[in-house]
């Protein structure tokens, strides 16, 4: 895919959604961090339902730490892998208090050192909470990047590096959200909604010939 096509793709996505953001509900970087940790292998809808109740009683490292593992589990038990996530979040809160003055660090290395926080989660925090032009490659972005030939890669890190290389600078801050939302609602896994796609004519997916716009 050439530069002209990539630029047009993001121009159209920007017109369609000028101010994209995460669908996770949060008010502070800490609330976002907890929500993103919980969102691994879970839907944003399920996470929002859990955190809406959790944040009413605990939305700081200290207050969640006070809940303890068992107390936290009561609020997140509807979310996949909640046992492991509860243990990681309690440890994460301890580290934030002890090492970062209860603040979410604005630093990749520090973020990735927190329990339950990997590269993708760190990228989400750096992008959404701090406005950095990072690319958190989830299943949606990985699928789209390979399907439409935007930035093909064999693994998420390869796709991440290619996207940061080929996406024009003016779009990098919001590209993460545009691609996730496009993959979540239009370029879905099993049967892409090509008839609703704003970048259909720019897509280089071979299978689109079987799923033409009317």
**Three-class secondary structure of residue 182 per DSSP:** helix
Cα 47 to Cα 14, 43, 61, 127, distances in angstroms: 27, 6, 18, 19
Per-residue pLDDT of the chain (214 residues), as tens digits, is: 899 999 999 999 999 999 999 999 999 999 999 999 999 989 999 999 999 999 999 999 999 999 999 999 999 999 999 999 999 999 999 999 999 999 999 999 999 999 999 999 999 999 999 999 999 999 999 999 999 999 999 999 999 999 999 999 999 999 999 999 999 999 999 999 999 999 999 999 977 766 665 5
Q: What's the start-to-end Cα distance of the chain, in Å?
A: 24
Give φ, ψ of 73 to 5 degrees: -55, -35
pTM exceeds 0.85, yes or no: yes
Q: Distance between CA 154 and CA 156 in Å, rounded?
A: 7
| Burial of 1 from C-beta contacts in 10 A (0-12 / 13-18 / 19+) | middle
Q: Which residue has the tokens 């949060």?
A: 26
Positive or negative CA dihedral for 92, 124, 37, 27? positive
Active site residues: 120, 138
Full set of structural domains in the chain with CATH: 3-20+134-210 (1.10.1670.10), 29-129 (1.10.340.30)
């Amino acid at each position: 895919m050439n530069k002209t096509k990539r630029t047009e793709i993001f121009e159209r996505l920007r017109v369609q959604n000028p101010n994209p953001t995460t669908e996770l509900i949060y008010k502070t970087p800490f609330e976002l961090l907890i929500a993103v940790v919980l969102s691994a292998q879970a839907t944003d809808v399920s996470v929002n339902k859990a955190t809406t109740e959790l944040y009413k009683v605990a939305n700081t490292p200290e207050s969640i730490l006070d809940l303890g593992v068992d107390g936290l589990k009561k609020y997140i038990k509807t979310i996949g892998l909640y046992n492991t996530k509860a243990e990681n979040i309690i440890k994460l809160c301890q580290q934030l208090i002890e090492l970062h003055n209860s603040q979410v660090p604005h630093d990749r290395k520090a973020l990735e050192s927190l329990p339950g926080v990997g590269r993708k989660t760190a990228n989400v925090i750096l992008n959404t909470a701090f406005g950095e032009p990072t690319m958190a490659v989830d299943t949606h972005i990985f699928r789209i990047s390979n399907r439409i030939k935007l930035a093909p890669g064999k693994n998420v890190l390869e796709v991440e590096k290619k996207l940061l290389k080929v996406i024009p600078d003016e779009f990098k801050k919001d590209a993460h959200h545009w691609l996730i939302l496009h993959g979540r609602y239009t370029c879905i896994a099993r049967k892409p909604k090509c008839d609703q796609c704003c970048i259909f004519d720019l897509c280089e997916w071979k299978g689109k010939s079987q799923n033409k716009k009317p």
